Structure 1
Amino acid sequence: MKFLKLSLAASVALGAFSTASFAQPLEDAIKGIDVSGYLRYRFNSDYYDNGGNNNSNSNNTHRWKAVADFKAPVADNVAFNLGILYNNESNNVNHGNTYPGQGSGLGSGKDGSFGVSTFNAVITPDSTATTVIIGKQRLATPVTNAGDDDRGTGILALNSDLEGFTFAAGAFDSWSIDDVHKGYDLGDNSGTSVTKPLYALAGIYGVDTAYGHFGAQLWGFYIQDAVDALGFGELSWNNATFDIALQYALAKLDNSNSSILGALHPTSNGAGTASIQGVPTNRANISEANDLFVINLGANFAQEYNVPLDVKLGWVTNFQDGTAVTLNDDGTAFKYAGALWWQNNATGISTSALLNRGVAGFGSEQEISVFYGAIGYSMVDSRLRIGLDYVWGNNETKWKGYRNSEDIDFQEITPRISWKHNKNLTISGYYAYLMTDAPNEYYTDPVTGNDRRLEDEDRQRVRVEVKYSF
């Protein structure tokens, strides 16, 4: 008998043919499976200028993202879901930097994260209006952002047996937040995750009346070695034209030596050399008591008055020592306007306990007051919308034992435009301009103990986004 030497490709091909009789036709295999998701491209151009220190910088990024969720049909009250994610967030062009032409990927470098984003079983018993999700799933809560791929592995149960009410309970032994500062191994786009258990309880109510729709929700969270207690509540009302929402979040953070927050907020006095996940620290050095209050008023005159105009006004403030009440600082619950003022170090404001910016630290007293307004007008059969956001705010931080405070005023002006080409394709963009007004005086830095001068800053961002949903 003559033996043949087969290439690897030929061997695989023959193997596929030999087992073909046991396979299903593709059409039968995918019958009944729903597929949804989107393809998105974003271009960001960021510019920073700190005139007093003669420091300026620009950075351009190209970002591609693809999400596909496959939902299998229900069989015997059980269905399975699989989500595939491609997320390239690291292609920095860096025009105008110290070393021009040298960036991370130069806009077309190696691929970023690609893999399974969700993988879970959904159980829906016939005898009750209950849904149980077991496995890897998105974290759709007021303090996380499921749209930005915040996710956890565990179990979530929802029940709606009582008319008008939905109750939820969840337990996750590991979870990931997309925008945690990279390098701390606490969950980001590199694939790492937090391994401290997260628990959640919620009650949501809604009822339609002759006077409009009334809604309420209350959430509670606990995270071992991070968050001793976190609560979020909202009261809302809306009719065909007007809406109002009152939102309040309160958090008591774990400031003990074992807190994982210490990896993000190193001690200011330099004491201790213990390492938490590779970062030297001895305690969290973050305010234990945090809260945030938001009131939002809105109106849309299109339905009742046939005027394609929408407006909203709001106020944001706090009453406790800090504002760290979320896990993701762009959690979808809070109804802000603007694009930049809570997502950089210029204003000193952040709502995330997991980011190492905008958190004043243990022994500080932070007071914020932010007013915002937004207006939008639609035309061309509501396919084209132009809008303008305006934000004015103040952030004053006082550190115990230091001679003065950090007092920053800021304004942001953000024009927006979007074009809905069809039901699937939307093209949008904005230009955000943030200006800060610092007191231009020296103060004692509580982290280093040195004197430094606060300077005015200008930050700008141009964003263009193309999104195809299916």
Structure 2
Amino acid sequence: MKLVKLSLATIIAAGALANLASAASLEEAIKNVEVTGYARYRFDSQNAKLASFEDTDNEHRFTSDIDFKAALDDRFFGVIGFRYDSVDSSGENVNSKTMVGVDDRGEDSFGQTFNIRQFYLGYTAGNTTLMAGRQVLGTFFTDDMIGTGIKVLNSDIGGLTLVGMAFDNLQGDNDIGSSAFILGNAKATLDLDGEISGKLEYVTDRNLYGVAAIGSYDPVSFQLWYSALDSVAQLYAADVTLGANIGDVDLSLQAQAAGSSMWANSARAVVYDSTQVPAKYEMAELNLDDATFLAAKLGAKGFGFDGSVGYININTKDNGYSLISFEDQGGFITAGEDLLDYTFIDGDLSAYFVTAGYTFANKVRVGADYVGMRVVYNEIKNIEPSSTVDAYEAVARVDYKYSKKLNFKAWYSYMNGDNETSDNQHLRFEARYNF
């Protein structure tokens, strides 16, 4: 990483890290500070048309993650990371969240709009690195989720990295579908709008443990993962990718097998009971069961063109509710933008996808995705019968790589389902600068 000129904020951050260990002076710490991160702007416009109503939502989002890494001596290093994240409703100032201070709850359960996202101490000895503190989990089952704990990486074996971790204080962000699961038997109060209150326990209140083996031996790379979400579920995944080059064409074949083994037998969740007159929110008990995930993807790239085809299958053991990925899509094979969700499994799913694109002058890529899906949804006892839904999503994309660090993208997604869901549209524009 190239060293950069330091601003006052950088010097302050380095000073905070220098206090973590007396082995390095402030002057020495400043000389070895590395800065990584990004600044991103997004505009999202979503329109959802259901059988009984239509809803349009337009938002601006401003996000920046900036991490400062300082070498404290030959073996110790410290990282402190700052996050600014604001989602503001377009066309009105009632829900503006660009302020920092009173009544500032921020986004994704970080606490407020501007906050300290990461703060941890690292130690390296030979090919082993230990990191302790508040940090990105970095598992196969999560995307950018934060937790407090310990992570150990070892690469003594050439081409192979072994990982072990233990985390608590997990971030409860908006990309966790199972966050609706209420565990235990604590009493809950439900109002007419479906808002729940009481001393409740959710899946993000539990600890997460994990081990992994990640290897690369040309032309094969692989990942083996196991994670335990305390008293909720065991998650496991295997990913194998085979790469080949024929002439000027790069080919790849990726296969994944994963699953969840649920420790908890049941959970509660708030559901909308349309069978009552008038319809209202109810607290329903959901049976939790094991689930399996199988997927394969064949990709090709050459002469400016790129494309892929793939198949995804998810099954629950006994028509119960489950999860495959804990937060967002994790490292799983996926396509489209909004249709597929692996964090809340409420039925048996089969899907196929096709993607294609062309890149002009290594700068502008124009592409499209198509995802077709069939889901047999599980029954919610006494509230909702089982049902079968066929749906699809079509996505058009344009990406512009202005420079190595500055990129622009835009995409439009259209989803349609043959049951209650139809004509769901989502437009996004994004500008991102990487430090």
> Into which bin does the TM-score normalised by the smaller protein fall?
0.7 to 0.9
User: In 1, are the aligned partners of 2:374 and 2:389 still within 8 Å (CA)?
Assistant: yes
Letter in 2 for 1:131: T
Aligned partner (choices 210, 226, 236) of residue 200 of structure 1 = 210
Matched, 1:315 2:323: no
Letter in 2 for 1:92: S
Question: In the alignment, which residue of structure 2 is the partner of 1:444?
Answer: none
Q: Tell me, in whole angstroms, the C-alpha distance in 2 between the residues paired with 1:185 and 1:88.
A: 27
CA RMSD of aligned residues (A): 3.1
Partner secondary structure for residue 125 of structure 2: coil
Q: Tell me, in whole angstroms, the C-alpha distance in 2 between the residues paired with 1:109 and 1:369.
A: 44
The structure in which a higher percent of residues are strand is 2
Structure 1 gap ranges (5+):
1-23, 96-100, 187-191, 269-279, 302-306, 343-349, 354-358, 361-365, 439-454
Question: In the alignment, which residue of structure 1 is the partner of 2:422?
Answer: 457
Correspondences of 1:34-113 after superposition (within 5 Å): 34-50=34-50, 52-53=51-52, 55-73=53-71, 75-89=73-87, 91-93=88-90, 103-105=94-96, 112=106, 113=113
Aligned partner (choices 184, 199, 220) of residue 214 of structure 1 = 220
Q: Tell me, in whole angstroms, the C-alpha distance in 2 between the residues paired with 1:193 and 1:78.
A: 34
Against the structure 1 CA distance between its residues 248 and 181, is the aligned structure 2 distance closer, same or farther, given a 3 Å change threshold? closer
Correspondences of 1:241-320 after superposition (within 5 Å): 241-256=250-265, 262=267, 264=269, 285-301=286-302, 307-320=303-316
Aligned partner (choices 158, 161, 170) of residue 175 of structure 1 = 170
Against the structure 1 CA distance between its residues 68 and 140, is the aligned structure 2 distance closer, same or farther, given a 3 Å change threshold? same
Aligned length: 367
Question: In the alignment, which residue of structure 1 is the partner of 2:237?
Answer: 232
User: In 2, are the aligned partners of 1:172 and 1:199 still within 8 Å (CA)?
Assistant: yes
Q: Tell me, in whole angstroms, the C-alpha distance in 2 between the residues paired with 1:286 and 1:33.
A: 50
Partner secondary structure for residue 194 of structure 1: helix
Q: Tell me, in whole angstroms, the C-alpha distance in 2 between the residues paired with 1:431 and 1:395.
A: 23
Structure 2 gap ranges (5+):
1-23, 107-112, 183-201, 274-281
Question: In the alignment, which residue of structure 2 is the partner of 1:371?
Answer: 352
Q: Tell me, in whole angstroms, the C-alpha distance in 1 between the residues paired with 2:160 and 2:416.
A: 44
Q: Tell me, in whole angstroms, the C-alpha distance in 2 between the residues paired with 1:318 and 1:184.
A: 20
Deviations 1:3-47 (CA, angstroms, capped at 9, x unpaired): xxxxxxxxxxxxxxxxxxxxx999876222000111000000000
Q: Tell me, in whole angstroms, the C-alpha distance in 1 between the residues paired with 2:271 and 2:122.
A: 41
Deviations 1:171-212 (CA, angstroms, capped at 9, x unpaired): 1132114224799799xxxxx99342211011112102xxxx
Q: Tell me, in whole angstroms, the C-alpha distance in 2 between the residues paired with 1:29 and 1:320.
A: 52
Q: Identity rate of aligned residues, in percent?
A: 26
User: In 2, are the aligned partners of 1:291 and 1:324 still within 8 Å (CA)?
Assistant: no
Letter in 2 for 1:145: D
Q: Return the offset for 1:253.
A: 2.1
Q: Tell me, in whole angstroms, the C-alpha distance in 1 between the residues paired with 2:179 and 2:161.
A: 38
Letter in 2 for 1:35: V
Q: Return the offset for 1:287.
A: 2.7
Letter in 1 for 2:352: F
Aligned partner (choices 412, 416, 430) of residue 431 of structure 1 = 412
Q: Return the offset for 1:170.
A: 0.5
Letter in 2 for 1:167: L
Structure number with larger C-alpha Rg = 1
Correspondences of 1:394-413 after superposition (within 5 Å): 394-399=374-379, 405-413=386-394
TM-score (ref. length: structure 2): 0.77
Against the structure 1 CA distance between its residues 405 and 196, is the aligned structure 2 distance closer, same or farther, given a 3 Å change threshold? closer
User: In 2, are the aligned partners of 1:176 and 1:193 still within 8 Å (CA)?
Assistant: no
Question: In the alignment, which residue of structure 1 is the partner of 2:432?
Answer: 467
Q: Please, which moves more after superposition, 333-342 or 382-391? A: 333-342
Letter in 1 for 2:210: A
User: In 1, are the aligned partners of 2:66 and 2:81 still within 8 Å (CA)?
Assistant: yes
Question: In the alignment, which residue of structure 2 is the partner of 1:392?
Answer: 372
Q: Tell me, in whole angstroms, the C-alpha distance in 2 between the residues paired with 1:246 and 1:265.
A: 36
Q: Tell me, in whole angstroms, the C-alpha distance in 1 between the residues paired with 2:257 and 2:172.
A: 22
User: In 2, are the aligned partners of 1:226 and 1:253 still within 8 Å (CA)?
Assistant: yes
Q: Return the offset for 1:375.
A: 0.5
Q: Tell me, in whole angstroms, the C-alpha distance in 2 between the residues paired with 1:185 and 1:400.
A: 14
Letter in 1 for 2:223: Q
